[in-house]
Amino acid sequence: MSSPDTRFEAISIEGLSHRFLSRNKPPTTALSDVSVRFPSGKVTSIVGPSGCGKSTLLLIMRGLVKATNGHVRFLYGNGSGDLTAGDAPRMATVWQAFNLLPWRTVMDNVAFGLELSGIPTAERRAKAAEAIRTVELSGFENHYPGQLSGGMKQRVGLARGLVMSPDVLFLDEPFGALDAQTRLYLQEQLAALVESSGKTVVLVTHSIEEAIFLADHVVVMTARPGRVAATLDVSLPRPRTLEMQKEPAFGDLFAEIYGLLRDEVRKSMLN
């Protein structure tokens, strides 16, 4: 569908609904009529109360879960302003639970995706070594995940995604399992990485600060069934620094998002 002179412009979610069936409970509606667009080359955060279906939305976009209704379209443009749907771009995901293979070394974990697609050993090792360098883990190639700290594990997770040179990087609560300091440090590293690479990033998080700090747009979702409450633009300049969290613009946006989320969080605790 996409010819060489077109470029990837956006992921478009159109009227997406998803229901979970379970054996001894009535089906739960996780997502209800979600329509939202993730522009290419930008970082878009999705925030929402726990259980609002934001991780499910990510799995659906990634093609790992099939939605009950609605579409995920990958839009391509040729410069004239018309967009046409095309094949999925290259995508990779970084997970909250890291999901590293514990029986493989750092090197073999990072090279795993290349191995699956049949890249010869020498080539994939060279590429993996480079990705490991990018996330500052050189020297740990032969360690097993069990020998690493949480922050190091997630850097391996990031390298494993980056080595696939994805057009779109999905981050599913990537720092949710880490301590506060490690989290801050990795947020800064990630901000620098996405700024220099210009990748399309979709970040699912429950941290409002993280959503604002890393993103160009913030999608705020309601409690289950998840709907889009608002899409807000982040006007902070790049490169982002942690000091920006003290700026009035940051505070205002935080207040606006929290205002939207407050009642939703209460609802999510009650159901």
Partner 1 sequence: MTETSQAVRPEAEPLKTPRPADERLTNDTWWYGPAAIIAFLIFWEVAVRSGNVPEIFLPRPSVVVVTLYDLFAHKRLLDDLGLTLFRIFAGFLLAAVAGVGLGLFMGTSRRFNAIADTFVAALYPVPKIALLPLLVIWFGTGNAFMIALSALGGLFPVLINTVVGVRQCDEGLILAARDLGASAAQVQRKIVLPAAVPTIFGGLRLALGISIIMVVAGEMQTARYGLGAKLEQAGQVLETGQVFAILLLLAIVGVILTKAQDRLGNFVDRWRAK
Q: Please, what is the end-to-end C-alpha distance for the chain in angstroms?
A: 44
Phi, psi of 148 (to 5 degrees): -110, 155
Q: Which residues lie closer than 8 Å to 129 by C-beta, 6 or more apart?
A: 107, 138, 141
**Minimum CB distance to partner 1 smaller for 96 or for 187:** 96
Q: Which of 35, 50, 64, 247 binds partner 1 (CB under 8 A)?
A: 64
95 is a site residue for partner 1 (CB under 8 A): yes
User: What does the CA dihedral 237, 174, 168, 265 come to, rounded to 10 degrees?
Assistant: -80
92 is a site residue for partner 1 (CB under 8 A): yes
Task: Looking at residues 140 to 199 of the shown chain, list those that interact with partner 1 (rule: CB under 8 A).
Answer: 144, 146-147, 160, 164
Contact segment (CB under 8 A) with partner 1 among 90-98, 129-137, 219-227, 250-258 equals 90-98
Provide, rounded to whole angstroms, the least separation between the CB of residue 94 and partner 1: 9
53 is a site residue for partner 1 (CB under 8 A): no
Instruction: Report the C-alpha gap between 3 and 110 in whole angstroms.
Output: 31
Contact segment (CB under 8 A) with partner 1 among 110-118, 122-130, 192-200, 208-216 equals 110-118
Contact segment (CB under 8 A) with partner 1 among 18-26, 38-46, 108-116, 130-138 equals 108-116
Q: Which of 35, 82, 101, 126 binds partner 1 (CB under 8 A)?
A: 101
258 is a site residue for partner 1 (CB under 8 A): no
Contact segment (CB under 8 A) with partner 1 among 36-44, 66-74, 100-108, 174-182 equals 100-108
Provide, rounded to whole angstroms, the least separation between the CB of residue 106 and partner 1: 11
Phi, psi of 110 (to 5 degrees): -65, -35
Q: Can you count the helices (H) and strands (E) in the chain?
A: 8, 10
Q: How far is CA 55 from CA 47, 107, 112, 197, 238, in A?
A: 10, 28, 23, 24, 27
Half-sphere exposure of 215 (CA within 13 A, CB side): 31
How are beta strands 217-221 and 43-47 bridged, if at all?
parallel
| Cβ contact 56:18 at 8 Å | yes
103 is a site residue for partner 1 (CB under 8 A): yes
Q: Which of 11, 31, 34, 59 binds partner 1 (CB under 8 A)?
A: 59
Name the residues that contact partner 1, by CB under 8 A: 59, 62, 64, 91-93, 95, 97, 99-104, 112-113, 116-117, 144, 146-147, 160, 164
